[in-house]
Amino acid sequence: MKLNWKPGTMIYPLPAVLVSCGSTPEEYNLVTVAWTGTLCTNPPMCYIALRPERHSYEIIRREMEFVINLTTEEMARATDWCGVRSGRDYDKFAETGLTPAPAAVVKAPVVAEAPLSIECRVKEIVKLGSHDMFIAEVVNVQADDRYMDPATGRWALEKSLPLVYLHGGYYRLGENIGHFGWSVKKTK
């Protein structure tokens, strides 16, 4: 039997990402975001959704750029900390021990420890209610070469032990049970 609940956002798991913003080291900030995702392949576009009262909201609205940094099991404590503390009161890079590094295209920093950093330029801000959606074009991606498989030349994000958010908790991803198209692959 299925239970009927009031409408809510129950699409889980989601990536738990650190969004970095700011154009100078004095204003660099990090905010933990789970309301994020892919919107389009060509051109590559994604989004984040933020509450207007978040400190990073004004920085991103003013600069119209940000970086989505994927997180790992190793970064879980810092990821949670950046979601419950405000950049108005703390230098989040200093407090968490994470390292701001130059992005290739945008002014906002990347997180050096992140396995993947997606540099974004805001194209549109959509007011939704409790959150506003920042629709952005991906202008560059930085991938950590530690996750390149030298034998195959494949970049293996799963080796970073990605962090996901699931209904109030953080989890590491489990084992691979298939790949795109495996359900219809013909066997010999």
User: Under 8 Å CB-to-CB from 187, ≥6 apart: which residues?
Assistant: none
Q: Return the DSSP state at 25.
A: T
Beta carbons of 112 and 145 less than 8 angstroms apart: no
What tokens were used for 158?
A: 């799963």
CA dihedral sign of residues 167, 7, 17, 33: negative
Q: Determine which helix (DSSP H) or strand (DSSP E) holds 96, and give its type and residue range.
A: helix 92-96
Dump pLDDT digits (tens) for 19-28: 999 999 999 9
The three-point CA angle 121-126-12 to 5° equals 85
Dump pLDDT digits (tens) for 65-119: 999 999 999 999 999 999 999 999 999 999 999 999 999 999 999 999 999 999 9
Q: Which domains does the chain have, with CATH numbers?
A: 14-176 (2.30.110.10)
Reading phi first (left if > 0) and then psi (alpha if -120 to 50, else beta), residue 113 is in alpha
